Structure 1
Amino acid sequence: MRKAVRKAVFPVAGLGTRFLPATKAIPKEMLPLVDKPLIQHAVEEARAAGIEDIIFVTSQGKSAIEDHFDINGDLNKVLETRGKLDALESVKATEIGSGKLFYTRQQQPLGLGHAVWCARKLVGDEPFAVLLPDDVVLAGTPCLKQMVEAYDDVGGNIVAVVDVPREHTNRYGILDVASDDGRLAAVKGLVEKPKPEVAPSTLSIIGRYILQPEVFGHLDRQERGAGNEIQLTDSMARLIGNQPFHGLRFEGTRYDCGDRVGFLEANLAFALERPDIGHLVREAIAKLI
């Protein structure tokens, strides 16, 4: 019987240099998307997909992330005493119970593959998800939930993909496709940041993965790839042929919140979807333009 995806890894060790000076003292994952930090959006997506155990791969200066998901008894008491029950409910929604939230350190910035490898002991011998908080997906059905549903059908490894302009293939991991039904693409190879003229397709991997634990055996090699970093893509590629591997064209819109313009665009898109403030944001935009 196929093992369920119960654990999710969140690589949150990056410095966030694109957002300095805002990220000098605040982790970039704590930057607000409307009124929730980016990391909370990612955790809520994982929970909606049935994830039980949350694993953060952190570094120095990331304690605000730990505090955000902890219980703040003093704050809860003040909100309750003042009758601010909506605020209290929103705060309680961030709390993750004891034994469900885990942390491990990435002590050197050696790449995404290395960050995932740092979580190997916490993941153990079972399939797991990886979510990059910089990638945010606005969708009716959360992106990872769509992936879990596809995993239940085909098993193996699944990555979320979008089509990108060919001139941008050198920014992403790109699929080499064996077959494609318009939703699921069977993968025969992966190439990290290929030049446009040699890219095997324009299907780009975004920051959502469901992987089998065998990937850790390949990450154990600690081999450097593009950018002289330990690339997750390189180890995933070694799974192809031994396990099913698919790219899922998910329903929804992906925003790159690791980019300043993408972050602003995401804030507008999510705010416009909010029934409480969407109309006010439309009015504000109309005044500006």
Structure 2
Amino acid sequence: MSKRVRTAVFPVAGLGTRFLPATKAMPKEMLTVVDRPLIQYAVDEAREAGIEHFVFVTGRNKGVIEDHFDRQFELETTLEMRGKTAALTELQKDLPSAGRTSFTRQQEPLGLGHAVWCARDIVGDNPFALLLPDMLFKGEPGVLRQMMDAYEETGGNVIAVEEVPHDEVSSYGVIGRGEGPDTGFELTEMVEKPKKEEAPSNLIISGRYILQPEIFSLLAEQTKGAGGEIQLTDAMQTLMHRQHFTGVKYVGQSFDCGSKIGFLKANVVYALERDDIGPDFRKELSKLGLSV
């Protein structure tokens, strides 16, 4: 029987250069889709999947993330005095329980693999989930919950994948698909940014992982790869020769909020689906001559 996945790692040390000047003094993970920060959506997804311990790999100027997941007594007192009980309840609901968050530093921007390695002592000898906050997923149940269901059946390592046009595979990490249904199939290979004619499929790695702790020792020995960074994909390719990998073609919609277009698209979609602002927002878009 596989060990239960109780811990999730969130790499939040990136500089967010694609959103400058907005991210000069504010972490990109705190950019809001409507009225919730990106990192909150990722934590919500993890909590729905049963995660109990939330590990944030941070960098300089990221203290506001730690503050976000802490209580603000002055704010709570003010809301209570003014009778804003709905807002107060929402704030309290979003907080992880005491002792459920950990923060560690990635002092240098050495890549995703290095960021994951920085969480090694906190995660210990246990499987863990890895969520990239730039990627926002809309699904019921959430993508990580879908992956957990597969993990309970197969154990090992699990990666969420999605389909893209064949002309776009050269921009992503692409997997080879073996036998099994969309809810959990054998993953046969991983190729980073292949040429279209050399890609094993049009299924790409999409920012959600369940990994076994053996990945840490591989990352410790990993030499720098593309971009002079320690690449997680390189370590996973090595681990594939030793452990089973399962792919899950998740049900839902993804938004690459690391890009401006993906971020704006997410704001529109999430706003339109809100009962409190959706109808009025639709009217305002209509006034601009936009049909949605």
Bin the TM-score by the shorter chain: over 0.9
Give deviations 1:44-90, integer Å, cap 9, x for gaps. 11011000000000000001100001010111001001100011112
TM-score between both structures, scaled by the size of structure 1: 0.97
8 Å Cα contact 1:113-1:230 kept in structure 2: yes
1:170, CA displacement in angstroms? Answer: 2.1
1:21, CA displacement in angstroms? Answer: 0.7
Pairing 1:201–2:210 present = no
Pairing 1:33–2:33 present = yes
8 Å Cα contact 2:163-2:204 kept in structure 1: yes
Pairing 1:64–2:64 present = yes
The residue number in structure 1 matching 2:287 is 287
One-letter identity of the residue aligned with 2:135:
D
Pairing of 1:157-168 with structure 2 (within 5 A):
157-168=157-168
TM-score between both structures, scaled by the size of structure 2: 0.96
Consecutive unaligned residues in structure 1, runs of 5 or more = none
SS across alignment from 2:239: coil
1:202, CA displacement in angstroms? Answer: 1.0
The residue number in structure 1 matching 2:114 is 114
The residue number in structure 2 matching 1:127 is 127
The residue number in structure 2 matching 1:260 is 260
1:193, CA displacement in angstroms? Answer: 1.4
Q: Distance in 1 between matches of 2:118 and 2:79?
A: 38
Consecutive unaligned residues in structure 2, runs of 5 or more = none
The residue number in structure 2 matching 1:251 is 251
Q: How many residue pairs align between the two structures?
A: 289
Pairing of 1:33-182 with structure 2 (within 5 A):
33-182=33-182
Moved >3 Å (runs of 4+): none
Q: Distance in 2 between matches of 1:182 and 1:81?
A: 51
User: Which deviates the most, 31-40 or 189-198?
Assistant: 189-198
Q: Distance in 1 between matches of 2:137 and 2:212?
A: 23
8 Å Cα contact 1:114-1:222 kept in structure 2: no
The residue number in structure 2 matching 1:220 is 220
1:197, CA displacement in angstroms? Answer: 2.2
Give deviations 1:193-222, integer Å, cap 9, x for gaps. 112221111110011000011111110113
Query: Identity of paired residues, percent?
Result: 54
8 Å Cα contact 2:49-2:148 kept in structure 1: yes
Q: Distance in 2 between matches of 1:119 and 1:259?
A: 26
1:227, CA displacement in angstroms? Answer: 2.0
